[in-house]
Amino acid sequence: MELPPLTKGPIMIRQLAMFAAATAEFVDIHYDKDFAQSVGLPDVIIQGWYKTATIAQMLKGWAGDGNALKRLTVQYRGMDVAGNTLTAGGKVLRVSRESNGKRVECEVWVDNQLGQRTATGTAILVLS
Amino acid sequence: MSALLEKLKKYVGAESEPIVYFIDTGAIKFFAESIMDPDPLYRDESYAKTTKHGEIVAPPTFYGGATSLGNVTAGDARTVLSVDIPMPPGWAGLNAGDDFQLFAPVKPGDTLTCREKVVDAYEKQGRSGHLIFVIREKTFTNQHGQVVLVRRGTSVLRKPAPEEERHQ
């Protein structure tokens, strides 16, 4: 079963600068274009955590509760640059009964507007 | 094992000084704004009271922002990597993955103490050359002594290919 996807963007440098402050992770390649290019990157790149938080938001939309998410494991497979639009998606892999509810394991991903899958992973949710 | 990996292996087991985060409604709302999540649960106390949570809770994966820091300043690099591993000249580091384990909701009024530990370092020969992976684990404990979140991050260190070096 596919989960309802969540699309956001284009994600501009302003948003990445806000995210840097919102997470207390100031890493210049995420908001300083000159610096990013000086270290060989094509442009400012979107934080990996931004993509993980977007997957978590997509899962919350489906589960109806952000706290249903118990584990989210994401590999960053490709870089996304500022200006990209991201779509978080997923599908249910297996469901099992547990004492505290229904345990759902999902495959999750992020695709950009070019059709590149730049993040993949797995999520575990417990739905009461 | 490369000489570089041998050097990095010495950091496995190294633990950071703790970093303290004071969570408030402003920091939660600002994180939600930064990821463009309009959910009123993250910003409207009277709405939050009508939900099963009964109060504002943070979006999953959030554990505090620049205004939350208790014992370091907002720009302190240790909020990203508390255990400093010296990067060899000409090498670049990137975030290759995250593994968040969420044990309890993060709420306004919480004080989270983060301890970071280097848990592994290994190498691979990839298509883009010699890659070194460093795994770090951040454990966040709240004011009740309960572990609320564990973030295991993978950094990949690589030496840019010769055709990329002209940009350096």
Residue B162 has pLDDT above 70, yes or no: no
B37 located within any domain:
no
A22 → closest Cβ in B31, B164, B168: B31
**The two structure tokens encoding residue B52:** 């099963």
**Residue-by-residue pLDDT tens, chain A, 128 positions:** 999 999 999 999 999 999 999 999 999 999 999 999 998 899 999 999 999 999 999 999 999 999 999 999 999 999 999 999 999 999 999 999 988 899 999 999 999 999 999 999 999 999 98
Give yes or no for A88 touching B (CB within 8 A). no
Residue B59 lies in a domain: no
Is the bond leading into A10 cis (omega within 30 degrees of zero)? yes
Q: Reply yes or no on whether the pLDDT at B83 is more than 70.
A: yes
ipTM surpasses cut 0.90? yes
Q: Does B90 map to a domain?
A: yes
Chain B within 8 Å of A54 (Cβ-Cβ)? Answer: yes
Residue A52 touches chain B, beta carbons under 8 Å: yes
Residue-level pLDDT at B165: 45
Q: Say how many domains are in chain B.
A: 1
- A7 to chain B, any CB pair closer than 8 A? The answer is no
d(CA B57, CA B10): 39
* Domains of chain A, first to last: 2-127 (3.10.129.10)
pLDDT in the model for residue B160:
65
Nearest chain A residue (CA) to B72 = A24
Contact check, Cβ <8 Å, B101/A22:
no
Residue B149 is assigned to a structural domain of this protein: yes
Residue B17 belongs to domain with CATH number? 3.10.129.10
Q: Please check whether residue B36 lies inside any domain of the structure.
A: no
Q: Which residues does B125 contact at the CB level (< 8 Å), separation at least 6?
A: B131
Total-model pTM: 0.94
Inter-chain CB proximity A66 and B100 less than 8 Å: no
> Is B78 within 8 Å of A87 (Cβ atoms)?
no
- B55 domain residue, yes or no: no
Q: Does residue B138 sit in helix, strand or coil? A: strand
Range of the domain at B119: 3-23+71-165
Q: Which residues in chain B have Cβ-Cβ distances shorter than 8 Å to A31?
A: none
Nearest-CA distance B151 → chain A (Å): 10
Instruction: Assess whether pLDDT exceeds 70 at residue B161.
Output: no
Residue B35 belongs to some domain of the structure: no
Helix axes A13-23, B25-34, angle to 10 degrees: 150
Top residue of B22, B33, B35, B152 to mutate, by most chain A CBs within 10 Å, is B35
In a domain, B30, yes or no: no
Give residue-wise pLDDT tens across range B89-120. 777 788 999 999 999 999 999 999 999 999 99
pLDDT (tens digit per residue) in B9-64: 999 998 999 999 999 999 999 999 999 999 999 999 999 999 999 999 999 999 99
Structure tokens at A44: 């400012």
